[in-house]
Amino acid sequence: MKLYELDRSVFPPLISDKLTERGIYSKLAMIVKTGSAPPAGNYVSSVTKNNITWTFDTNYLVGQFATGDYYVVAPDGLNIIDIDPLPTNSPRIMNGSMINPTFTGSNRNRQGYDAGLATTYESTLENTVGIGVSTETPLHVAAGSSLISSESIATVQAVPNPQLQSVEILTVLASTPASGSFRPPYCGSDKTINFNVSDIDYEILPSLSLSGISLPSPTTLYESRLGNITSRMRHATVDHFRSIGAFTQGASAIDNYPNYGREFSSLVGTLSLLLMLDSAAMEAALSVTRAEIAISLIQMGIDLYGTVVAGNYWHSVGGLNSGRKWPIMFAGLLLDNTAMKNIGSYAFTPFNDGIDSYYNGIFGDSQWTTTKPFQEDGQCFYVGTKDYNSTHLPYWGDTGHSPFVGPFHNQALCEPYLVSDYGLPEWGENEMGLPAVSDKYFSLETYRLTTNTNGWVGIALCLHILDSTCGTKALWNNNAFIDLMDRSLALTTRRAWQRSWSAFQEDMWDVYRGTYGDGFIGQVYVNGTTVITNTISPVAGTSYAGVAGTEDSHTDNNYCNYIIRESVFSDITGYIGNSNEVVNANCRRLYGNCATYGIVK
C-alpha cells in the first residue's frame, strides 16, 4: 500500500476524525506524491456559491476564480458526499447536476437538471450525476472537470417559464491556477486556464460623457425591464441547450440570466455600454466597478465560446436566443484573443436536424435549415431575388388558401417585396427567404419590433463605437444587422418600448450614434410609397420638396419618422411637421404628421 493510500482504520476513531477534519490525509498524500508540502491556501470540506453548497469527504485546497466561482485542487479527483439542495427523484427528478456537458449524439438536446424541463431529461447520460450522492456513495469528480449543479423550482412551471432557480459551477483542477484567472469553459473536458484579469486591455474602451444619459438605478443597476443586473453579473451563464424556444426558456435559471433573447441581448447591451462611459464618473454614479462589469462579460464570452466549440448554436426563429454572439466577440477584443474576436467568421456547416424539422411542421416548408450559429445573423439580411420570388408565389398572402403558402405572421396585412427593395436591410424569422417567413410589412412585423431590434440597441452601438479602434464592423461580418439597426431606430418613436427595451441604451444611441459615422439611415414612406431609399446617397442637388404625406402611422406604412445626418445634408428645406427633434450636433430626427418636407444634398 502506498503511503498516500493510508488505511484510516489504523487510527483510533477520534484521531481519524481529527485528521480528516484538518485535511491531514490529503496533505500527506500530496507530500508523498510530489515530494513537497502542498501550497499554502484554504483547506475546507465544503464551499457555497449563492444557493448551492458542495460538501466533500475531507478537506481540500480551494480557491476562487476572478468571477468568484470556486475551484478545488484535487489531482486524484474530488469526492463529494453532499450537494445542497439535494438532488432527488421525488416528487420528480430535480436539483440535478452535470459534468462537462457536450453536444455529441443524443446529448445535444438533453439535460440532467430537472425532469420537469421541456428539454429531455436523460439520467443515463454519462455526464448526468448527483442523484443518490451521500457519504456511502460519494460523487467522484475527476481533475479537469466542471460540475454544474442546479436548484430547481419546487413546482413544475408552465412552458415556457423557467424551471430552474439557480445554477452554479465547481471546477476541479490538478494544480492551483494563478491569482486572477478566469474560469475555463464548463463544456467539454479541456480545463486549461487560458486567461487572466491581467490580460484585459481597457485601452480599447472610450471614455464617453454621462451627460444626457439616463443611467440604471445606482443601487443594483436596476432597469425596469431587466431587473437586478448586478445580481445576474454574479452568476454563470449556463446556456448549453441547443434546442427550440420552450426548451431554452425553461432551462434558463432565473437567478443567472434572462430566459428570452430580447432581455438577454439587452442585459449584454447595458453592461457593454457602461464600459464605454468615463469609468471614474460611471463608478461614482453606480454601485459597480468597470473591472466587475468587464470580468462578468468576459467570463460570459468564454463560456459561450466554449459551448460553440463543443457544438452549440442558437436557432434563428422568433426572439428566443439572440445576444450570444457579441459577448464572445467582446471578450476576444478585451483579451486580444484571435479566435473569439473572429467569432463572426466562425466555420459553421448549415444543416437540417430534428429541431429544424419542428419548424418545418410549424411553417409548412420542408426547407427550413439552420444556416448561422447565432440567431441575429440568421435573421438579418439584405432583400434580394430570393425574397422577391418568395413573396410572389401563387397564393402567397391568401389566408383562405390550402395548403399554406405564407406568410406565417401578419397574413391579413402582408406586403410582397418589390424590385426597388433590393438592398434593403431587413429582419425575418429566417434569412433563407422562405415564403412562409418572408414579408415586407416591416412596421408591423411583430417579432422584429417587440422581441429583437429593441433588444439589440446596445450591441449595435458598441459596434459603431469600437469600429475605428478595433474594426468591429468587419469582425461582426454582418452589415445587414448594422444597417437594419439604423433603419429600425430611425423608424420607431422615441421612448416607445418597441424602439429600445432599455432607456439607458436608447439615450446612448441618440446622444452618440451620430458621432460614429453615417450608415444606412432608413427609408422614408409617404402614403405607402418609398420616397427615398438609403438616404446616405440621394442624387446630389436633387430636391425632394413638396412630397405630400398625411399621417405618422405605423399601421399602414404612412410615416416619415426619419433621421437626417446634418454632416451629410447641407440643406434641409421645406419640412413642416409637429416634431423636429435635434438629437445632437450631428443628428436631427424628423417625425410626426408630415405635410411637406424636402431634402437637398
Give per-residue pLDDT as tens, 396-412: 888 788 877 778 766 67
Higher pLDDT, 404 or 572: 404
Q: What's the confidence (pLDDT) of residue 550?
A: 27
Alpha-carbon separation of residue 331 from 119, 309, 482 (angstroms)? 29, 15, 20
Cβ neighbors of 543 (< 8 A, separation 6 or more) are 573, 598, 599, 600
For residue 375, the one-letter residue type is Q
DSSP string, 440-504: --GGG-HHIIIIIGGGSHHHHHHHHHTHHHH-HHHHHT-HHHHHHHHHHHHTS-TT-TTT-S-HH
Q: Which of 123, 307, 276 is nearest to 210 (CA)?
A: 276
Of 36-50, 475-489, 537-551, least confident by mean pLDDT is 537-551
Average pLDDT over residues 42-68: 96
Average pLDDT over residues 323-332: 97
Reply yes or no on whether the pLDDT at 196 is more than 90: yes
Average pLDDT over residues 472-490: 90
Alpha-carbon separation of residue 555 from 304, 414, 501, 528, 559 (angstroms)? 38, 11, 21, 11, 9
This prediction has a pTM of: 0.81
Q: What's the confidence (pLDDT) of residue 141?
A: 97
Reply yes or no on whether the pLDDT at 184 is more than 90: yes
Higher pLDDT, 559 or 193: 193
Q: What's the confidence (pLDDT) of residue 2?
A: 31
Do residues 391 and 435 make contact, with C-beta atoms less than 8 angstroms apart?
Answer: yes
Of 159-173, 281-295, 413-427, least confident by mean pLDDT is 413-427
Going by pLDDT thresholds of 50, 70 and 90, the confidence category of residue 319 is confident
Q: What's the confidence (pLDDT) of residue 63?
A: 96
Reply yes or no on whether the pLDDT at 457 is more than 60: yes
Reply yes or no on whether the pLDDT at 533 is more than 90: no
Rg (CA), the chain: 27
Q: What's the confidence (pLDDT) of residue 324?
A: 95
- Percentage of the chain surpassing pLDDT 90? 38
Q: What's the confidence (pLDDT) of residue 521?
A: 46
Q: What's the confidence (pLDDT) of residue 38?
A: 46
The Cα–Cα gap between 557 and 553 comes to 6
Q: What's the confidence (pLDDT) of residue 242?
A: 66
- Percentage of the chain surpassing pLDDT 70? 69
Residue 455 zone, left/alpha/beta (φ > 0; ψ -120 to 50; rest): alpha
Going by pLDDT thresholds of 50, 70 and 90, the confidence category of residue 414 is confident
Reply yes or no on whether the pLDDT at 428 is more than 50: yes
Do residues 389 and 440 make contact, with C-beta atoms less than 8 angstroms apart?
Answer: no
The Cα–Cα gap between 460 and 112 comes to 36
Going by pLDDT thresholds of 50, 70 and 90, the confidence category of residue 338 is very high
**Secondary structure letter of residue 217 according to DSSP:** B
Reply yes or no on whether the pLDDT at 204 is more than 70: yes
Q: What's the confidence (pLDDT) of residue 108?
A: 58
CB-count exposure of residue 477 (10 Å: 0-12, 13-18, 19+): middle
Higher pLDDT, 252 or 470: 470
Q: What's the confidence (pLDDT) of residue 299?
A: 96
* Distance, C-alpha 325 to centroid of its chain: 7
Higher pLDDT, 364 or 133: 133
The Cα–Cα gap between 486 and 475 comes to 18
Query: What does pLDDT average to over the chain?
Result: 76
Going by pLDDT thresholds of 50, 70 and 90, the confidence category of residue 566 is very low
Higher pLDDT, 339 or 527: 339
How are beta strands 222-223 and 227-228 bridged, if at all? antiparallel
Going by pLDDT thresholds of 50, 70 and 90, the confidence category of residue 578 is very low
Higher pLDDT, 589 or 403: 403
Q: What's the confidence (pLDDT) of residue 123?
A: 66
Residues 200, 204, 210, 213: is their CA dihedral positive or negative? negative
Beta strand segments in 221-310, E: 222-223, 227-228
Going by pLDDT thresholds of 50, 70 and 90, the confidence category of residue 445 is low
Reply yes or no on whether the pLDDT at 504 is more than 80: yes
Bridge partners (DSSP) listed for residue 48 = 53
Reply yes or no on whether the pLDDT at 543 is more than 90: no
Of 230-234, 245-249, 390-394, least confident by mean pLDDT is 245-249
Cβ neighbors of 172 (< 8 A, separation 6 or more) are 71, 72, 74, 77, 78, 141, 142, 143, 144, 145, 146, 147
Reply yes or no on whether the pLDDT at 51 is more than 80: yes
Reply yes or no on whether the pLDDT at 515 is more than 80: yes
The Cα–Cα gap between 417 and 135 comes to 67
Higher pLDDT, 395 or 304: 304
Going by pLDDT thresholds of 50, 70 and 90, the confidence category of residue 545 is very low
Bridge partners (DSSP) listed for residue 426 = 381
How many CB atoms within 10 Å of residue 209? Answer: 11
Going by pLDDT thresholds of 50, 70 and 90, the confidence category of residue 105 is low
